[in-house]
Structure 1
Amino acid sequence: MARRPSGDGPSTPATVALDRAGVTYSRHPYDHDPSAQSYGLEAAEALGVDPAEVFKTLLVDTGAGLAVGIVPVDGQLDLKAMASTLGVKSVTMADPAAAERSTGYVVGGISPLGQKRSLPTVLDETAYALEVVYVSGGRRGFDIGLAPADLATVTRAVRSAIGRPVS
C-alpha cells in the first residue's frame, strides 16, 4: 500500500488508483469556495504553493473520442499542440456533461487519476521540472500531491509541450 505522507481527505477513485499502483502521494483537503473564479488558483492559494505546481485536468474532443490534457492552472491548454501530440487534425474542449460522464467526476473536481474510462492522456512537459505536482483528488476542495513521473505512469500519459501562458 502507498504511504500518505500528509493530510487526510476522502477516499476517491483517484486515491484508490494510487493505492493500487503503490504510489506514494499526499492528500490535501481544503475548504472550497463555490464562488471561486478559478478552482485551480483557489487550490494553489489554499495549499500555499506556486500555481505553476498545481495542474488542471482538461478534456478535449478529438472528433473520434475524448482525451485528457494536464497543464498548470496558471496557464492554458494549447489546442493545436494537443491535437498535434494526439496525431489528429484538431481538438475542441469537451462538452462538460460528456467530460463528467466519461470520467465519473464533476467539473471542477475532475482528476486525471481513477477515471471511469481510460483516455489518451498528455502531461505538460513543465511538470517534469518539479519534484511534486498537485492535481485534483476527485472532488472540489481536495488535491493530491505526487511525483510527475508517478502521475505519468499511473495515467499512461505522454509528455509534451501542451501548455501556454495566459495571454
Structure 2
Amino acid sequence: MTPAINIAKKKKILFTVHEYEHDPAAESYGVEAAEKLGVDPDRVFKTLVVANDKNLIVAVVPVMKRLDLKLLAKAVGVKKVGMADVKIVERTTGYVVGGVSPLGQKKLLPTYIDSSAEGCETIFVSAGRRGVDIELSPDDLVKLLKASYKAFAK
C-alpha cells in the first residue's frame, strides 16, 4: 500500500488500483501507464509540482498535454510559476519523481486539476509508485485534495 491508496481507503471513496510492469527506460511515465493499462491517454493524468517564490503548487495534467506555466499562473492568480526542484518535490511530497501522486503527500499543497478531467467519469493518477495507478472520479479527487478545476494544459 502507498499513502495515496491508504487515503482513498480511509476516506471510503470508490477507486481501483491498477499495476503494470514499469520500464525504467520509458520516456514518459504517464504515456507508458496509458499504453500498459490499455486506457485512453486523455484519462491518464500526471502530477507536476511547480514553485512560485517559496510556495509549491500541484498541477494535475493529462499525460498527452503540456502544462502551460503562464496559463497556470494566471489561473491561480500569481505572477509567475516554474517547475519545482526535484529534491524539493521529493522531500515535500514523500514520493519519487515519476511516482508522485496528488494523494497522500506529506504536506497538502494547493492543488489544481486541469478542467479536461471534468468530462471524465474516472481518471487515472499515480498511486505513489512507478507502475501503480489509482483510478477514481475526478470529483472525488477534488474533494479529497480541496482542489479546483482550472484550464492550464495545452
TM range (shorter): over 0.9
Instruction: State the one-letter code of the partner of 1:51.
Output: P
SS at match of 2:18: strand
Distance of 2:94 and 2:46 partners within structure 1: 16
1:36 equivalenced with 2:26 (yes/no): yes
Detail structure 1 runs of 4+ shifted over 3 Å in the superposition: none
Distance of 2:70 and 2:144 partners within structure 1: 25
Instruction: List aligned pairs for 1:108-147, cutoff 5 A.
Output: 108-147=98-137
Instruction: List aligned pairs for 1:1-167, cutoff 5 A.
Output: 11-164=1-154
Shift of 1:142: 0.2
Distance of 2:3 and 2:75 partners within structure 1: 27
SS at match of 2:117: helix
SS at match of 2:88: helix
Shift of 1:85: 2.1
Q: Which has the higher contact order (CA 8 A, sep 6+)?
A: 2
Identity of aligned residues (%): 51
Instruction: State the one-letter code of the partner of 2:82.
Output: T
Aligned residues: 154
Shift of 1:64: 2.8
SS at match of 2:107: coil
Gapped regions of structure 2 (runs ≥ 5): none
- Deviations along 1:92-147, whole A, 9 cap, x unmatched? 00011110011000000000000000100000000010111000000000000001
Shift of 1:86: 2.0
Shift of 1:46: 0.7
TM-score (norm 2): 0.98
